[in-house]
Amino acid sequence: MTRHEKQRPGRAGGPAGGVDQDRAATWVFGPARVEETLQGIPNQVRRVLVRTGPLQSRHQALLKIARARGVPLQRVPNQYLDRISAGARHQGAACEVSPVAWLALGEVLSMDPKPSRLLLLDRIEDPRNFGALVRAADGAGVDAVLVPKRGAAPPSPVAIAASAGGPRPPPPPPSCASRARRLP
């Protein structure tokens, strides 16, 4: 089963015109976070947006890294970044990441090789706590994080930023599964 962030109605006026589905995407904002994401999980980055106009060295570095990793780039007006960030500090850079793949518990338990370390999270509603726990789980070698279908923080941009909050790049998200009723 796949879980997606809530879709919002599209609007005209995105960087290439047409329907704007960007508000339903999962975004990481700020040059440092975008660079961490490009370094850590480049295969999950759908595209990088950098503001138009003169670029600082940190923005030029992002362009170089994205090109080297084969990630699509777009130069967009600062106003567009303001709109998709909804008030978050973007500092002229953002990247769209693929949504986390949600699997049923049976799918996780039938993985080959069998997951040996599972983390069950219940009622973790704060996305920062969710992200920090995913980062800790990665450091501890956890193979999958089990979360309930309801009553848990989704892997949002805030959770992604929290999971990237350290000296090393963010981990690839472990497999996530819905908690089954048969678990205590």
Tokens coding 37: 């994401």
The answer to whether residue 156 sits within a structural domain is yes
Let me know whether 75 and 119 are in one domain.
no
- Domain range for 55 is 20-97
Alpha-carbon distance values, 111 to 11, 70, 107, 139, 168 (Å): 40, 30, 6, 20, 27
Task: Residue 174: count other Cβ atoms within 10 Å of its Cβ.
Answer: 21
Let me know whether 81 and 33 are in one domain.
yes
Task: Residue 41: count other Cβ atoms within 10 Å of its Cβ.
Answer: 18
Summarised one tens digit per residue, pLDDT across range 87-109 is 888 999 999 988 776 778 888 88
Q: What is the CATH number of the domain that holds 55?
A: 3.30.1330.30
Number of domains in the chain: 2
DSSP 87: T
Alpha-carbon distance values, 169 to 19, 95, 105 (Å): 32, 14, 28
Give the total residue count for the chain.
184
Tokens coding 35: 């660079």
Q: What is the CATH number of the domain that holds 128?
A: 3.40.1280.10
Predicted confidence at residue 138, as pLDDT, reads: 80
The model's pTM is 0.61
**Please, which residues have CB within 8 angstroms of residue 12's CB and are 6 or more apart in sequence?**
18, 19, 20
Instruction: Report residues of the chain scoring pLDDT below 70.
Output: 1-25, 101, 154-158, 160-184
Predicted confidence at residue 129, as pLDDT, reads: 86
